[in-house]
Amino acid sequence: MTSRRLSTAGQSISRETVFQAALHSFYVHGYDGASMRDIAKAGGVTPAAIYHYYASKQELLVDVINRFMQQSIETTQAAIAEAGGGPAEQLFAAARSHVLWNASDVVSSFVVNSEIRSLEPHNRRLNIAQRDQLQRMFDEVVERGATEGVFTTPWPREASRALVTMCTAVAGWYKVTGPLSPDEIADRYGYLSLSLVGSRVQVDR
C-alpha cells in the first residue's frame, strides 16, 4: 500500500483515510447508495482528494474487497501451515482462523460478502478467483482427510463448502458485547467443522 499523502487546503490526506471512509460508507449506505460526496464527508475530505488516489467508486470497492480477500487467503494459508499434523488439526486451525478473521473486521466482511453483486464483470471474475483460491485450501484438507479415512463424510466437497460458508457467516451476527469471545466462538466452530466432516480424530486446544 502506498504511504503517499496528499496535502490540500492545509490537510494531510492519506490513501488509507479515503479507503476507510469508503469502507464506512459502503457499510452504512451500500455501494449503490454511497456517493463520492458521502465518502468525502465520511473522510472529512473533498471529493477531489478521493480522485487523487482512486479513479472511481468502483475502484474503491475493488480495493476494499481485494484487500480483505487477500488477507483472508494469507491467514488461512498460515494457519494450515502452522498446524502441521494431519487433516483434522489443519481443518480445525483453518476454521478457527477463518472465524477469527471475519469476526475481527465485521464491517469489511459484510461489505465483501454483500457487494460482490456490485462489481463490474471483470472485477467480479477476479473476486471469484480469490474466493475459489480460499475454498480450494479447505477442499484439499477435507478431501485428503476423506481419502485417508480420517473424515467419514461421503460428500467432502459439499462439506467443505458448507463449513466455509458457516465460518464466514459469523460476521453477520457476531457482536463485541456478546457472551462469547472471538476465541471461544472460533474454538466452537473448529469443533463444529470437525463434526461436519465426520472426523475420527479429535483435536485438543
Residue 181: pLDDT band with limits 50, 70, 90: very high
Say what the pLDDT of residue 8 is: 44
Alpha carbons within 13 A on the beta-carbon side of 137: 24
Say what the pLDDT of residue 110 is: 94
Residue 9: pLDDT band with limits 50, 70, 90: very low
**Better-predicted residue by pLDDT, 52 or 154:** 154
Say what the pLDDT of residue 163 is: 97
Q: 3-class DSSP state for residue 45?
A: coil
Average pLDDT over residues 106-112: 95
Give the span between the Cα atoms of 36 and 25, in whole angstroms.
9
If we measure between CA atoms, which residue out of 137, 4, 136, 120 comes closest to residue 65?
120
Say what the pLDDT of residue 204 is: 80
Indicate whether 6 pLDDT > 90: no
- Would you list the DSSP string of 90-158? HHHHHHHHHHHHHHHTHHHHHHHHH-GGGS-HHHHHHHHHHHHHHHHHHHHHHHHHHHTTSB--S-HHH
Residue 33 corresponds to which cell in the numbers above? 447508495
Indicate whether 195 pLDDT > 90: yes
pTM: 0.87
Classify residue 153 by burial, with Cβ atoms within 10 Å: 0-12, 13-18, 19+: middle
Average pLDDT over residues 11-31: 89
Q: Residues of the chain with pLDDT > 90: what percent? A: 84
Check: CB of residue 76 under 8 Å from CB of residue 169: no
Residue 84: pLDDT band with limits 50, 70, 90: confident
Instruction: Kindly tell me the sign of the dihedral angle through the C-alpha atoms of 136, 192, 143, 74.
Output: positive
Indicate whether 11 pLDDT > 50: no
The domains of the chain, with CATH numbers, are 5-54 (1.10.10.60), 62-196 (1.10.357.10)
- Mention every residue, 6+ apart, whose C-beta is less than 8 A from residue 114: 30
Give the span between the Cα atoms of 82 and 130, in whole angstroms.
22
Mean pLDDT of the chain: 92
Q: What is the pLDDT of residues 24-68, one digit of tens each?
A: 999 999 999 999 999 999 999 988 889 989 999 999 999 999 999
